[in-house]
């Protein structure tokens, strides 16, 4: 318990003292996780909405694949991304291995199915009667779909929040494709693992508290956006 309080105090001291190395890691974490989340939203959200709003043969098979992908082990994702980006891999000529972009790609692969699956669930949780009511009022197919998306705003934003939570807390794939290189690919999660490996538990706890603070700050902002405009039209 003493180590926890000591780590918390050290975390505040590092933040208040403007430790340049820590802030470099924080900014890289936000940049990597932010870009990975944006890419995941651009990939996962359309897939989830398409699955929820369209009926076609083989839909259940695709939904089951998305649900399966939501639980992909990060180390497995890291392994396959490494094989793709390694020097002799299909994308080796791009030179992305052990760069922040390698981490972004791996994290996007992890988070995209999460956002897709939860987006599908958000639309699917709406009452089937809502679509019939909108059609009976003369709404076009496009208008119906848009209204369903608006009604599922809370659930869709929850999917984005879950996607961000998946990438900002990920460590296995980041270590494999990023290498935890100081000043280049070291993020808060990999820095925590490194300090634990060195036996510096007080520093590891301090970095962990910083990670929690950063993650909560972003989630708090997304939650505000999630509930903004809730009272519109009343």
Domains in the chain (CATH in brackets) are: 2-227 (1.10.3720.10)
Please compute the mean of the pLDDT values over residues 162-187 and round it to a whole number.
Answer: 91
Please compute the mean of the pLDDT values over residues 190-218 and round it to a whole number.
Answer: 87
pTM of the full predicted structure? Answer: 0.86
Among 219, 221, 183, residue whose Cα is nearest residue 98: 183
Please compute the mean of the pLDDT values over residues 2-8 and round it to a whole number.
Answer: 65
Banded model confidence at residue 79, pLDDT cuts 50, 70, 90: very high
> Based on C-alpha coordinates, what's the Rg of the chain?
21
Distances (CA, A) of 132 to 17, 54, 135: 59, 15, 5
| Secondary structure of residue 27 in the 3-state scheme | helix
Please compute the mean of the pLDDT values over residues 79-95 and round it to a whole number.
Answer: 91
The least confident of 13-22, 50-59, 160-169 is 13-22
Question: What percent of the chain has pLDDT above 70?
Answer: 91
Banded model confidence at residue 3, pLDDT cuts 50, 70, 90: low
How high is the pLDDT of residue 234? 41
Spatial contact of 38 and 138, defined as CB atoms under 8 Å apart: no
Cα dihedral 125, 127, 130, 132, rounded to 10, equals 110
More confident residue, 11 or 51: 51
């Amino acid at each position: 318990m003493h180590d926890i309080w000591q780590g918390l105090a050290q975390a505040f001291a590092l933040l208040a003292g403007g430790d340049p190395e820590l802030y470099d890691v924080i900014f890289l974490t936000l940049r990597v996780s932010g870009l990975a989340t944006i890419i995941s939203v651009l990939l996962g959200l359309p897939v989830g909405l398409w699955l929820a709003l369209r009926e076609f043969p083989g839909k259940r098979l695709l939904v089951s694949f998305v649900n399966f992908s939501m639980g992909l082990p990060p180390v497995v994702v890291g392994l396959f991304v490494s094989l793709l980006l390694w020097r002799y891999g299909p994308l080796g000529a791009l030179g992305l291995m052990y760069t922040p972009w390698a981490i972004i790609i791996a994290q996007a692969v992890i988070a995209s199915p999460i956002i897709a699956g939860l987006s599908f669930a958000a639309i699917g949780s709406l009452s089937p009667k809502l679509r019939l009511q909108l059609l009976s009022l003369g709404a076009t197919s496009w208008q119906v779909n848009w209204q369903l998306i608006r009604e599922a705003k809370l659930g869709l934003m929850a999917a984005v929040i879950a996607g961000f939570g998946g990438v900002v807390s990920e460590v296995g794939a980041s270590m494999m494709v990023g290498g935890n290189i100081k000043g280049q690919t070291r993020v808060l999660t990999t820095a925590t693992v490194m300090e634990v490996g060195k036996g510096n538990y007080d520093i590891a706890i301090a970095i962990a508290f910083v990670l929690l603070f950063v993650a909560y700050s972003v989630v708090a902002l997304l939650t505000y956006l999630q509930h903004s405009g809730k009272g519109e039209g009343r």
